[in-house]
Copies of this chain bind each other. A is one copy, B any other.
């Protein structure tokens, strides 16, 4: 399941709801991304996440579907916020449940890396010197590239 929303979410409530009644789940791995008060060595006051409504939901659903073809998952959830967020606020929640913990860890890391590189969100930061759009980090592309299938597998 995926949700794109302005408002905050409750990680514990999502986690409980996601796995209630599914007793095949042995391990649940979750990721919560938070706004940090520093970015590139500079204090930041807030950030604003802009997104592409419609396409964002579509890309998140594609990413989730891809994870479910790669790992044997019982269930999964991606919640991503947009709008202005201050340090300490939650940005994104990814929860993956599987009967096997290793699958859950890998799929959750994959989803986070992949959505950072593939989901249409753009971050604007507010610092003492004004607001500016954040440049894409090559480390985010590198993290996503870890999960790219080698050509001989992709061709199968």
- Residues of A in contact with B (beta carbons under 8 Å apart): 10-13, 15-16, 19-21, 23-38, 87-88, 99, 101-102, 104-105, 108-109, 112, 143
Contact = CB atoms under 8 A, between A and B. Distances in A.
Nearest to A33: B27
A36 to B, nearest CB: 5
B19 A34 contact: yes
User: Closest 3 CB pairs between A and B?
Assistant: A12-B12, A23-B37, A23-B87
Given A101-B31, A102-B143, A36 B23 contact: yes
Contacts of A12: 10-13, 15-16
Contacts of A105: 31, 105, 108-109, 112
A37 B77 CA distance: 22
Nearest to A87: B23
B29 A34 contact: no
Contacts of A35: 23
Nearest to A30: B30
A23 B88 contact: yes
Given A11-B15, A27-B34, A105-B109, 15 more contacts: A11-B11, A11-B12, A11-B16, A12-B15, A12-B16, A15-B32, A19-B34, A23-B88, A24-B37, A24-B38, A29-B30, A30-B32, A31-B105, A101-B112, A102-B143
A52 to B, nearest CB: 23
A57 B29 CA distance: 23
A147 to B, nearest CB: 13
